[in-house]
Structure 1
Amino acid sequence: MTSLPKIVHLLDDLSIGGVTRNLALFQHPALQRHYECSSEEVHPDWSIAPKMNAAVIVVHFSMSWKTLPFLYSLAARNAQARLVLVEHSYSREWENLYVADQTRFRSMLKLAHRMFDRVICVSDAQAGWLEESTGLRAPKRQTIYPWSDMQGLAQLPRPHFSLKAPLIIGAYGRFVEDKGFERLIGAINALGDQQAVGLLLGGFGPDEDKLRRLAGSNSNISFYGQIDRVDDFLAKCDLVAVPSKFETYGLVATEARMAARPILVSGVGGLSEQVGEAGMVTDFGDEKATVKLLENIRHLPLVKMSVSGRDACLDITEHRIESWLQLLGDIASSRTMPRAA
């Protein structure tokens, strides 16, 4: 019996939610018919990388000056393998927020990219930024949107958008400043005693006490707690807001669309690419504009947004599998392609 080519996914933390959920795709029978897939936790700040019996090694951790020796070692000790980077971490907005020395940061990215046969961007916005900032071009650069196991979301009943009850806007994720939840709370507080809109926050994190203090005694704001089942959380929501200050892609918006929940998203990273007729892009940094949107939320074509969002996601698993099979087939047939190209 002929053994299948092996794909090893390298992470520096197997507990990272979105990245780990994305890797569940490789357990799908349509991929397992062609490849043997596994995941391994590594320490990329070490200078020596492990030697692996793999045809393809897919790297999911963030690039930095500290990881460069590991990457050089990974390439040298696994010369038989094709190396692929999935760029989960960086975006134009992230760079603007956190990078003081842009030239040095971009030089690091260029050096890191030289180690890989392919660099997978998770949104077209990210791909455009990397081409502009580092010269990374196709075919070495490709875009494949992330995936999440959305079992149960497609079966959720669509919201009723009842006129007799407040519309519940859900927002969920890790409670950190980057997610922008405080901006949503500020807008709900600014609505005053208006009962037309409520906010349900799901998740946990270091900013939870801060968010609870900001919410105060506002009865229109409630906290769900840790989310173990996304479908249970989304069943309690009529819409979903993603007020992030940066996102490379934003799986929350995909999950919300699959659940037939209209989305209100920041215009950052891959979020705006997901909207189409499923929702709206808004500037959550502008509290007055956000308040006005919430005051007029029932004037939006909510039913059409609900239907359009789900329809756009129904073939998402097949599309992601097809994209990965195409990529893996391409790199298998171009083994002589220099990594520095």
Structure 2
Amino acid sequence: MTHLPKIIHLIDDISLGGVTKSLALFEHPALGRQYDFAIEQVDPDWAIAPRLNASVIVVHFSASWKTIPFLYSLASRNPDAKLVLVEHSYSREWEALKVPEKLRFRTMLKLAYRIFDHVVCVSAAQADWLEEAVDLRGPKRRVIYPWSDMSDLARLERPHFSLTEKIVIGAYGRFVDDKGFANLVSIINRMGDQSPVQLRLGGFGPDEEKLQQLAAGNSNISFYGQVDDVADFIGQCDIIAVPSKFEAYGLVATEARLAARPILVSSVGGLPEQCDAAGIAVDFDDAKVVIKLLERIHYLPLVNMSVAGREECLRVTEDRIECWMHLLGGLLVQSNQKKVA
């Protein structure tokens, strides 16, 4: 009986939807035929990491000063395993907004990244920032975009854009300040009743009451509620906006593109690199610029954006599998060479 190489994914919170959903990629037969995958939940506040019978250990939680002891323990207690960190969270804009002492923060990153054989960046923008900030370079660094099962979105009909009907802009996610929904609501408010667009917000969170009050009395703004069915929500929209203040990648933009919805995204993190012919990146803090864009929205090449976005994403699963196969295969070759030596 042939034993497949064991790949263990470490997560600190199984309830984190995006990360947990992304791990379903490794259940795909193309990967399952080559590797034996498992998911382990750990508490990175532990001082001592577990011993794991794995060829490769992939860490999916962000490094911090509190987790440094755990990470060093992980390396020392699993000396034969290759260690990979997927940097899901940190970005240039996150650092600018959240970090008062950059030197201390970047020192922590350097100490953490030193532990790993490879760091996976989730966007080219993140990779560029980490090269500038902590000198993280190839071949130790690689960009692999995130994934989730979005096959149902590819089956949605393309929107029917009409010059005589209002364009429905959808925005969805957790209702927190970082997602920038308040900026979007304020912009639609400033456009008045004759606005050529309507806004549909989907989601929930601590800022829900604030957003409801901000939108009160505006017939061009509606609330969908919690989005349990992404395809149903996107199917009610013509365009998807992602006004976030920071995003390491921004999987919502990929979901929108696969659903053949043009995207209007913030100029942060990995969002602009998803536009290409599929959408427009804009500064949502500059209300005048956004209003000017929305006032002429009917005259944008929306059909072309719709078609281009879906075409760019049709092979998203195959592309992600190919990237991970290449990374894991290379790490295992290195490991076997070390054993032979």
Q: Note whether the superposition's TM-score is higher than 0.5.
A: yes
Cα shift at 1:105: 0.4
Cα shift at 1:337: 9.4
Q: Which has the larger displacement, 79-88 or 159-168?
A: 159-168
Q: Distance in 2 between matches of 1:39 and 1:163?
A: 50
**What does residue 217 of structure 2 align with?**
217
Q: CA 1:15–1:159 in 2, change beyond 3 Å: closer, same or farther?
A: same
Tell whether 2:99 aligns with 1:99: yes
Where do residues 280-299 of structure 1 align in structure 2 (5 Å cutoff)?
A: 280-299=280-299
3-state SS in 1 of match to 2:334: coil
Cα shift at 1:332: 0.9
Tell whether 2:191 aligns with 1:191: yes
**What does residue 205 of structure 1 align with?**
205
Check whether the contact 1:117–1:337 (CA below 8 A) recurs between aligned residues: no
Q: Distance in 2 between matches of 1:312 and 1:135?
A: 31
Check whether the contact 1:260–1:309 (CA below 8 A) recurs between aligned residues: yes
Aligned letter for 1:320? R
Where do residues 238-249 of structure 1 align in structure 2 (5 Å cutoff)?
A: 238-249=238-249
Tell whether 2:261 aligns with 1:261: yes
Where do residues 82-231 of structure 1 align in structure 2 (5 Å cutoff)?
A: 82-231=82-231
Cα shift at 1:336: 8.2
Check whether the contact 1:244–1:266 (CA below 8 A) recurs between aligned residues: yes
Check whether the contact 1:106–1:133 (CA below 8 A) recurs between aligned residues: yes
Cα shift at 1:14: 1.0
Aligned letter for 2:68? L
Q: Distance in 2 between matches of 1:22 and 1:337?
A: 30
Check whether the contact 1:9–1:59 (CA below 8 A) recurs between aligned residues: yes
3-state SS in 1 of match to 2:105: helix
**What does residue 273 of structure 1 align with?**
273
Check whether the contact 2:195–2:295 (CA below 8 A) recurs between aligned residues: no
**What does residue 64 of structure 2 align with?**
64
Check whether the contact 1:171–1:200 (CA below 8 A) recurs between aligned residues: yes
Q: Distance in 2 between matches of 1:248 and 1:28?
A: 25
Aligned letter for 1:223? F
3-state SS in 1 of match to 2:155: coil
Check whether the contact 1:5–1:54 (CA below 8 A) recurs between aligned residues: yes
Q: Show CA shifts across 1:123-154 (max 9, x none).
A: 01100110111011100011101111102111
Q: Show CA shifts across 1:79-99 (max 9, x none).
A: 121110000110000111111
Check whether the contact 2:25–2:148 (CA below 8 A) recurs between aligned residues: yes
Q: Which has the larger displacement, 45-54 or 310-319?
A: 45-54
Q: Which has the larger displacement, 2-11 or 263-272?
A: 2-11
Cα shift at 1:257: 0.1
Cα shift at 1:283: 0.7
Q: Distance in 2 between matches of 1:323 and 1:224?
A: 36
Q: Distance in 2 between matches of 1:145 and 1:311?
A: 17
List alignment gaps of at least 5 residues for structure 2.
none
**Where do 4+ consecutive residues of structure 1 move more than 2 Å?**
162-165, 335-338
> Size of the alignment, in residue pairs?
338
Q: Distance in 2 between matches of 1:215 and 1:11?
A: 37
Q: Distance in 2 between matches of 1:209 and 1:13?
A: 27
Q: Show CA shifts across 1:143-201 (max 9, x none).
A: 10111110211110000012343110000111111100001101100011115211011
Cα shift at 1:229: 1.2
Q: Which has the larger displacement, 205-214 or 248-257?
A: 205-214
List alignment gaps of at least 5 residues for structure 1.
none
Q: Distance in 2 between matches of 1:107 and 1:170?
A: 40
Q: CA RMSD in A?
A: 1.2
Q: Show CA shifts across 1:262-303 (max 9, x none).
A: 000011100001000001011100011111111111110000
Tell whether 2:289 aligns with 1:250: no
Tell whether 2:302 aligns with 1:302: yes
TM-score by length of 2: 0.97
TM-score by length of 1: 0.97
